[in-house]
Amino acid sequence: STLRLNYYPFLDNIEAVEVAEDGTRLGCETHRDGTLVTILYQPIEGLQVEDDVAGWIDVPPSESNFVINTGALMSRWTNGVFKAANHRVKFVNMERVSVPFFTEPYFYCPIESFTPKNSAQSLLNETVIYGNYLVESNKKFKEYQN
């Protein structure tokens, strides 16, 4: 598992990382975390979660609560029973802190999907080693490219 302390200083003349299709300027790309579960301390505004019906929903900031996201690994492991939360962060050029805790298995753990008991559903994914999965899933982020 990984605990990250992200400090974002105010910077003059900084651009958004990306502009979404709806025109929203983003400070972090639209993505699904590759982990089992992410526990996030996010005391300022900017986080949005995508809903299939309502579209992008603002997650209210809180200094006393945590945001819990299910990740792509949870979706893979549960054969799609739990969906990974698609989310993004709006561009906010101000000094701020974000503290995510990513829950993950150990690097060499085999990830074998399972189906609910008495389910006729077939498996959606082949077994993978978590470390290989992690390396590949992180390639979508700019800081892990090159």
Domain containing 93: what range?
Answer: 2-106
Report if residue 138 sits inside a domain: no
Assigned domain for 43 exists: yes
Confirm if 40 and 98 have CB atoms less than 8 A apart. yes
In a domain, 46, yes or no: yes
Number of domains in the chain: 1
CA 127 to chain centre: 21
CATH of the domain at 26: 2.60.120.330
- Each of the 146 residues of the chain gets a pLDDT tens digit; together they read 899 998 888 888 888 888 999 999 998 889 999 889 999 998 989 999 999 999 999 999 999 999 999 999 999 988 888 999 999 999 988 888 889 999 999 999 999 988 767 677 788 889 999 999 888 887 777 666 76
Assess if residue 118 is contained within a domain: no
